[in-house]
Amino acid sequence: MEKKTKNTVGNRNGNPTPQGSNWPDETIIRYITRALVLLIVFAWALVNLDAVLRFFGKVLALFTPFLIGGAIAFLINVILRPLECCWNKACRKVPAKLTRPVCLTISTVLVLGILFAVVFMMIPSLRESGDEFIQNIPVYVEKIGRWWAGVVQFAAKYNIILPEYAINSDLLIEKVTTLISDEESGILTVTWGAATSVLSVLVDVLLGLVFALYLLAKKEVIAAHLKKLIVTVFPQKKAQRLLSIAALTNQTFTNFVSGQLTEAVIIGVLCFFGMLILGIPYAGAVSAFVAVTALVPIFGAWIGGGLGAFLILLAEPGKALWFILFLLILQQVEGNLIYPKVVGKSVGLPGLLVLMAVTIGGEAFGILGMLFSVPVCAVLFSLYLEYMKNAHTF
């Protein structure tokens, strides 16, 4: 009776390898070499982390205008595409070569106009609110004095002696005026300084805007060249994989941005009419700021609401409480009705992953990280689901 032996086949060197294995020795050695090189590079980067971060910081600074331009182009393109479709349907007799220039101009003016309107609405409103607060200080001091006198009388019935209320309104006005309007460290000065520091990157933004307009004007040609470059450089299978990932990324970012823009408009309009009905001041400026900050998932509307509450507090402190209660209700409506319906499945991320993405993105890259972390995480999550699906297939 013949002895059973393991099924083996000889490789090039005559060494037996398990039958069905498609990995020759050269491939195994190549993978091990790559893994060792990556491990060495990673260890060196950890040891020299400061130098690596400085190097990437310099590289990032060189490409900042182009990154800004790409982000601006993507944002404008979200408005440009539906605008071109409407233009082609409504203006069929107009020469086709005018479609792109006209629609691109309208989209750019619309986006930049909204951003500048919010900035230049909020800052004057903040200064006006601060001046109004200073003028009303004597009234607030008198009201607090009457309230405290009632508290003292009530406490005296129970043999509780409270200190007398004594506030010099003129001295308080001087202190508050210094706090708000001081040329070196006042609140308005700090706020304006923050705004001007943002404007200090105007050169990069202008270069980015020029780059964005060029991208949008020739986007079909550029996309065709990039596709041809990928197909030429990479093998067919890898090229198709890269193109499919690019298409997934583009679709995910487009769905996310369009959904967030729609949600921001809805929450801004609801905030505006709600503030008008409740008689809360600065309805236009606060609603516009809430709408813009609502572009940041989860935390955005709260950031805008916090600044809005501060603005209202300076003008009419009593209305600030009503605004906070109104914002709480609005956030419940937004979180349970608007966001699931408008944004909802556009990114296909569980709520926990959205929270993690926004938190990590904000910690790492600030506001831009909070804006782009959700679609980036959505793309990675989609690729993970696709990988798991393919893994279970085999």
pLDDT recorded at residue 125: 66
Residues 6+ apart with CB under 8 A from 298: 354, 355, 358
pLDDT recorded at residue 7: 46
- The per-residue pLDDT for 4 is 45
Distance of CA 255 to the CA centre of its chain: 14
Cβ-count burial of 380 within 10 angstroms (0-12 exposed, 13-18 middle, 19+ buried)? middle
**Tokens in use for 320?**
């600030």
pLDDT for the residue numbered 294: 80
Strands (E), the chain: 8-10, 16-18
CA dihedral for 15, 18, 22, 25, sign (positive or negative): negative
- Give the pLDDT confidence score for residue 307 in this predicted structure: 79
Mean pLDDT by 10 residues, the chain (394 residues): 45 46 68 85 83 81 81 84 83 77 88 76 66 68 73 76 62 58 50 52 79 87 88 88 86 80 84 88 82 76 79 78 88 72 62 76 72 80 79 59
pLDDT value, residue 5: 46
Question: What was the pLDDT predicted at 15?
Answer: 47
Report pLDDT for 16.
46
Q: What is the pLDDT of residue 332?
A: 80
Q: Which single residue is written with the structure tokens 């910690």?
A: 363
Residue type, 180: I
